[in-house]
A and B are shown apart, each in its own frame.
Chain A
Amino acid sequence: EPEVTQTPSHQVTQMGQEVILRCVPISNHLYFYWYRQILGQKVEFLVSFYNNEISEKSEIFDDQFSVERPDGSNFTLKIRSTKLEDSAMYFCASSAETSQAQYFGPGTRLLVL
């Protein structure tokens, strides 16, 4: 069964460093998302992406964040200058059509020291 994959599974970085989280969505899906989950808290929406542009972003998704689909398979989330409060599990998701089931990857656990 097709699934969303994410790399790396864990990343430790120093505050102020740039990180890139990578995702490979399900191959025939057109809608891509990033969510995050701070330990012990709810899963929160960050951004949605369709047709090579951002469809919607949350208040969390400030100028430090960016997304890109550099080729036909990868979808990346970049944090330019990490902060301690960026420590969380970051999930990528994809769906075939808007407002259809979203399928999530296993997540990248980011720890900012």
Chain B
Amino acid sequence: KQEVTQIPAALSVPEGENLVLNCSFTDSAIYNLQWFRQDPGKGLTSLLLIQSSQREQTSGRLNASLDKSSGRSTLYIAASQPGDSATYLCAVSRGHNTDKLIFGTGTRLQVFP
């Protein structure tokens, strides 16, 4: 059974720092991995999708990498800003007749001025 874990559970940093959020999954047979942002009491905003054949994806200040064989993904946030404060979730999809997402527990990020 696929388990997705995110470390750290919470992170508080001053504005301007570069950050790394970690996601690990127990079954390396994934089809893709998606990173989301969730603001308190709100929906999920898709940030990046990495297909299993890819090593990384970039969008603005965000860079996500995937090491499928070791069951890990990292989300790198450059030059963090207070507006980046949110919970970051990773989710994996197995493919092979299933596209349900299996979510991690999230990392709650606070960036203070």
Contacts and interface: CB of A to CB of B under 8 A. Distances in A.
B99 A42 contact: no
A100 B48 CA distance: 11
Contacts of B42: 106-107
A103 B46 contact: yes
Q: 3 closest pairs, A vs B, by CB? A: A106-B43, A104-B44, A45-B100
B17 to A, nearest CB: 27
B53 to A, nearest CB: 12
User: How many A residues touch the partner, as a band?
Assistant: 20 to 34
User: How many B residues touch the partner, as a band?
Assistant: 20 to 34
A105 B89 CA distance: 15
Which one of B98, B101, B106 has the highest number of Cβ atoms from chain A below 10 Å of its Cβ? Answer: B101
Nearest to A98: B99
B93 interface: yes
Nearest to A106: B43
Given A43-B89, A99-B32, A99-B95, A105 B100 contact: no
Contacts of A55: 99
Contacts of A35: 101
B103 interface: yes
B19 interface: no
A48 interface: yes
Nearest to B100: A45
A91 B49 contact: no
A91 B89 CA distance: 14
A39 B36 CA distance: 18
Given A48-B99, A107-B43, 16 more contacts: A31-B99, A42-B103, A42-B105, A42-B106, A48-B100, A55-B99, A56-B98, A91-B44, A93-B44, A95-B99, A99-B99, A100-B32, A100-B49, A101-B46, A102-B34, A106-B43
